[in-house]
Amino acid sequence: MSTIPSPLPGVFYRRPSPDEDDFVSVGDEVTEGQTIGLIEVMKNFTELKASAGGRVKEFLVEDAAEVSVGQDVVVLE
């Protein structure tokens, strides 16, 4: 298992906009470099990308929750 940490402090979003589907869901297969969410800092959005391939086991942070630098956001198996 591996985790994907937040590269910066901000607010984590699971989808590109409120009216769109989540980037990924629990159980989805992801590839290294795939966007799994967004981190927003002062209206600037940075893509959170998978650092390795695997299956999404769980999200450790709720959608629209604040995250800190290095905080684990997603668990991959």
CA 8, distance to chain mean position in Å, is: 12
Looking at the chain, the whole-number percentage of residues with pLDDT higher than 70 is: 100
Give me the pLDDT at residue 1, please. 87
The first and second tokens of residue 50, run together, are: 């998978």
Residue-range domain boundaries for the chain: 2-76
For 54-75, what is each residue's pLDDT tens digit?
999 999 999 999 999 999 999 9
Q: Write out the CATH class of domain 2-76.
A: mainly beta
Tell me the per-residue pLDDT of 40-53, one tens digit each, with 9 for 90 and over.
Answer: 999 999 999 999 99
pTM of the complete model = 0.92
The secondary structure element, H or E, covering residue 2 is strand 2-5
CA distance linking residue 50 with residue 33, whole number of Å:
5
In angstroms, the CA 40 to CA 48 distance is 10
Q: Which of 45, 38, 42, 41 has its CA nearest to residue 63?
A: 38
